[in-house]
Amino acid sequence: MKGFWRLVHCQMLMLWRNKEYLVASFGIAFVSMVLFGYLFGVEGSSPFSLGLVDEDRSTTSSTLVEALKISSSLDVQQGERENELEGLRSGKRRVVMVIPSGFEDGLARGGSRIDVYFDQGNMVAATQARAVIQAIVDGLNRQLTGALDPITIKEEGITAKRLRVIDSLTPGLVGMMIMWANMFVGVRLISWRERGILKRLGVTPLRPFNLISSQIVAHVILSFLQAALLVAIGWLLFKVSVQGSYLTLSFMIALGSLCILSLGYIIGSFIKKSESANAVAMLISFPMMFLSGSYFPTDSAPSFIQPLVKLMPLTYLNHALREIINNGSALSSFRTDIFVLLAWTLGSLVLSIRIFRWQ
Amino acid sequence: MAIIEVAGLCKSYGKVKAAHEVTFNVEDGEVFGILGPNGAGKTTTLEIIEGLRTADSGSVRVCDIDVLKEKRAVQELIGVQLQSTTLFDELTVMETIHLFQGLFSKKVNLTSLVTKLALTDKQKSPVKELSGGQKQRLALALALVNDPKVLFLDEPTTGLDPQARRSVWELVQEIRSNGKTIVLTTHYMEEAESLCDRVAVMDHGKIIAMDTPRQLIKNLGFDNTIEFSIGDGLDVRELEKLPSVKSVHNKEKEHHLFTQDPQATLLGLMRLAQERSAAISDLRVHTASLEDVFISLTGRRLRE
């Protein structure tokens, strides 16, 4: 056991002394945070204008309209659909929300919808709009399913979600850092094989299982340290606070690291040369960095990219991290994310155990 | 008591028989050398004993433990220096030694180990900054961290300058005087002669001779070798008829005459060359060595 922790300690030392590792994982995330943080979100966001169209004109819809008007993060302007949409195009409105006719009847039958329009070209607006509207809809849903009075939206439910860019960026960057920190684990393993280090370790009583577990433990610990550093910097510089529990956050950081590590091992199992494996890991990491919603939301990305977005484990990790850090959600509210990450982890681990060759 | 028992070891890679019916015992406390040219099967044999490769057939016991069945139990007891040792570049000398020590249950005092291998000044240097000789000493230190009963050294001096080679030899002799059994491979006959109590000569996967270096040379039946090159105009078969010649080995223009009486043979050779007006060059006379053992057994030099 003592030998195992020495192995973990040495691996952490090696990673820490590896400048490429630090720059890719912590460096990119830190620079992005500072850059985007100061560009888009130092001051508290000014209330943004929401064009509201009530076509239902029912009791429920008017309650919703009133609730939105109370919110201090929104500057609600009520009007007709055509006028408001024109306002969005000309930039007078950031978001237009339409409560279509039949909204109340739909609710009574068990499901209804609200149409939301925002400018996809405006990243900041899109992020903010999505967060605010999501919060409202979440609140509304909770009220409708759980509470006795299904039409009251409390003010707190909305003001708490006054998201700035930096708020939604921080969890995304933590996710991205986790990806960069762990994706190259397989590359490192096969470079040891190439250089004959695995052979040298093979004439000691060390079991391959212990070597791999020490590698995993070292990577997870370093991911934790870097995540803690990022969250701390986010709080110190931009007052980004973690709404949810730190325990839940730690769980997701560990699960996310494990998932990416097992992906990294797959790369190391399929590809023999460390140079090519490195290239492949890069090829996977770069699209993932931008398509998994670390920097900007991707659910409005073109439909042909959607399957890719849905495939990437980082998409789910980012979503879960946002739920915890921004919305303070509990584990149960992002079960899908946990399930997908677990599936990726187990699937790739089983595959790489079957394929990997020591010599 | 035999500390290593190898019997009927076979290992093939495709059609190549890397080891064929290799059988030998190593006694407790001796330095046992496996001498042979590159590709003779020395490393394959060693790596099977170390538990790094599995044999196709045959048995290997180290300290009375079956390597095939209890690899890790054997690996606890042995120390290994591979042919080329690459280590983690990012770690320092001491960190590397410490890491390896953690892999074994038996441990030695690291300070005295580092002192013995003259690495005290280099303790905090990164592994990648070491010179060839220093790397070799570190590799030796790693092979000793578990106070092994048997030490395996695969070509410990290949690629080292003469001075570094001497210091490795001294270390091996010191380790041996502490009562450890050492198995080493080499293609330097001087190394085998000066370090080994017994030598197994290997070629094409087989052991072709095994004895003490002195006895191997004695078995040749001659004491001296005359080496030379000769110009055209001479029938090589005439060389066999020269006085006192035991045997002749010819390779293109290069000839070896094995003789009991170098004076008589030389005189005869000079006379013959004179008669045929063939020019002799690169003439050397030396006492028989393990190289000659190899040449007389295979017709080839060790390093070809």
Q: Model confidence over B73-116: pLDDT tens digits?
A: 999 999 999 988 889 999 999 999 999 999 999 888 999 999 98
Q: Give the CATH number of the domain where residue B94 resides.
A: 3.40.50.300
CA distance B88 to chain A (A): 7
From the list B75, B95, B102, the residue facing A2 with the nearest CB is B102
Q: What is the DSSP string of B148-194?
A: -SEEEEESTTTT--HHHHHHHHHHHHHHHHTT-EEEEEES-HHHHHH
Token pair of B196 as six digits: 């080994």
Inter-chain CB proximity B88 and A14 less than 8 Å: yes
Cα–Cα dist A232/A53, whole Å? 41
With b meaning 16 or more CB within 10 Å and e meaning fewer, what string describes B54-78? ebeebebbbbebebeeebeebbbbb
Provide the 8-state DSSP code for A204: S
Residues B147 and B168 in one domain: yes
Considering only CB atoms, B95 lies closest to which of A10, A192, A201, namely A10
User: How many C-alpha atoms does A329 have within 13 Å on its Cβ side?
Assistant: 20
Q: What angle do the packed helices A28-40 and A165-182 form, to 10 degrees? A: 170
Q: Which residues of A touch B92 (CB under 8 A)?
A: none
Same domain, yes or no, for B129 and B227?
no
Instruction: Answer yes or no: is B297 within a domain.
Output: no
Distance CA B98, CA A100 (A): 71
Cα→Cα distances B258→B125, B171, B211, B220, Å? 52, 35, 20, 9
Q: What is the pLDDT of residue A87?
A: 79
Query: Which residues belong to CATH 3.40.1710.10 in chain A?
Result: 48-159
Same domain, B87 and B16: yes
The answer to whether B87 contacts A197, with C-beta atoms less than 8 Å apart, is yes
Q: Classify residue B299: in a domain, yes or no.
A: no
Note which residues in 49-68 of chain B have CB less than 8 A from chain A: 50-52
The number of domains in chain B is 2
**Which segments within chain B are labelled E, that is strand?**
2-13, 16-27, 31-35, 57-62, 65-66, 78-81, 150-154, 181-186, 198-203, 206-211, 224-230, 245-251, 254-259, 280-287
Q: Say yes or no: B128 contacts chain A, CB-CB below 8 A.
A: no
Name the CATH topology of A48-159.
abc type-2 transporter like fold (3.40.1710)
Sign of CA dihedral A80, A81, A86, A88: positive
Q: Which residues of B touch A3 (CB under 8 A)?
A: 102-104
Whether B85 and chain A come into contact, CB under 8 Å, resolves to yes
CA–CA min distance B170, chain A (Å): 24
Residues of B in contact with A201 (CB under 8 A): 103
Do residues B138 and B248 both lie within one domain?
Answer: no
User: How many CB atoms are closer than 10 A to CB B271?
Assistant: 12
Find, in chain B, the residue whose alpha carbon is nearest to that of A205. Answer: B72
Residues B164 and B236 in one domain: no
- Taking alpha carbons only, the member of A22, A71, A11, A29 closest to residue A231 is A29
Question: Nearest Cβ partner of A205 from B76, B90, B91?
Answer: B76
Determine how β-strand B224-230 pairs with β-strand B254-259.
antiparallel
Phi first, then psi: give them for residue B281, nearest 5 degrees: -140, 170
> Closest-CA residue in chain A for B46?
A203
H/E/C letters for each residue in A281-322? Answer: HHHHHHHHHHHCCCCCCCCCCCCCCHHHHHHCHHHHHHHHHH
Closest residue in chain B to residue A206, using alpha carbons only? B103
The upper half-sphere exposure of residue A24, i.e. CA atoms within 13 Å in the direction of its Cβ, equals: 19
pLDDT digits (tens, 9 = 90+) for B169-201: 999 999 999 889 999 999 888 899 999 999 999
Mutate to test the interface with A, among B44, B90, B104 (most CBs of A within 10 A): B90
Q: How many other β-carbons are positioned within 10 Å of the β-carbon of residue A89? A: 11
Of the candidates A3, A17, A202, the beta carbon closest to that of B52 is on: A202
Q: Does residue B160 share a domain with residue B198?
A: yes
Task: Give yes or no: residues B52 and B134 share one domain.
Answer: yes
Sites in chain B below the pLDDT cut of 70:
303-304
Q: Tell me if B225 sits within 8 A of B285, measured CB to CB.
A: yes
Output DSSP code: residue B127. Answer: G
Torsion of CA A340, A173, A220, A182, to 10 degrees: 80
**B86, B98, B99: residue with CB nearest A196:** B86
**Is residue B263 included in any domain, yes or no?**
yes
What is the pairing mode between strands B206-211 and B198-203? antiparallel
Task: With CB atoms and an 8 Å threshold, state whether A196 touches B82.
Answer: yes
CA torsion through residues B274, B277, B281, B287, sign: negative
Domain that holds residue B49: 2-213
Residues B251 and B204 in one domain: no
Look at B90 and A17 and tell me if their CB atoms are within 8 Å. yes
Of the partner residues A202, A204, A207, the one whose CB lies closest to the CB of residue B104: A204
Write the single-letter amino acid at B46. L
CA A134 to the chain's CA centroid:
15
Give the CATH number for residue B258: 3.30.70
B251 within domain boundaries: yes
Residue A288 Cα to chain centre, angstroms: 11
ipTM of the complex in this document:
0.87
Residues B180 and B276 in one domain: no
Using the 3D structure, point to which of B159, B182, B213 is the last residue of a domain.
Answer: B213
Contact across the interface for A203 and B72, Cβ inside 8 Å: no
To which H or E segment does residue A117 belong? strand A115-118
Radius of gyration of chain B (CA): 22
Predicted pLDDT at A162: 57
Inspect the interface and report whether the beta carbons of A204 and B95 lie closer than 8 Å.
Answer: no
- Is there a contact between A189 and A265 (Cβ–Cβ < 8 Å)? yes
CA distances, B133 to each of A308, A333, B41 (Å): 53, 61, 26
Contacts of A358 in chain B (CB under 8 A): none
Same domain for B181 and B275? no
CA distances from B45 to A185, B180, B285 (A): 33, 20, 35
Measured in residues, chain A has a length of: 359
**Token pair of B241, please?**
């008829």
CA-to-CA dists, residue A164 to A45, A247, A289, angstroms? 6, 24, 21
B103 shares its domain with B190: yes
State the Cα–Cα distance between residues B108 and B146, nearest whole angstrom: 6
Residue of B nearest to A189 (CA): B88
pLDDT in tens, chain A (359 residues): 778 999 999 999 999 999 889 998 999 999 999 888 888 765 544 556 788 888 888 877 777 787 777 765 677 888 888 888 887 777 677 778 888 888 778 777 766 777 777 766 555 666 666 676 677 767 667 666 654 444 333 333 233 345 778 888 999 999 999 999 999 999 999 999 999 999 999 999 999 899 999 999 999 999 999 999 999 999 999 888 898 999 999 999 999 999 999 999 999 999 989 999 999 999 999 999 989 988 887 777 788 888 888 899 999 999 999 999 988 888 888 999 999 999 999 999 899 888 877 76
**Is A10 within 8 Å of B99 when comparing Cβ atoms?**
yes
Residues B88 and B202 in one domain: yes
Element (H, E) at A118: strand A115-118
Token pair of B218 as six digits: 């004695």
Q: For residue B104, what is the nearest residue in chain A, using CA coordinates?
A: A205
Spatial separation of the C-alpha atoms in residues A323 and B80, rounded to whole Å:
53
Tell me the three state secondary structure of residue A76: strand
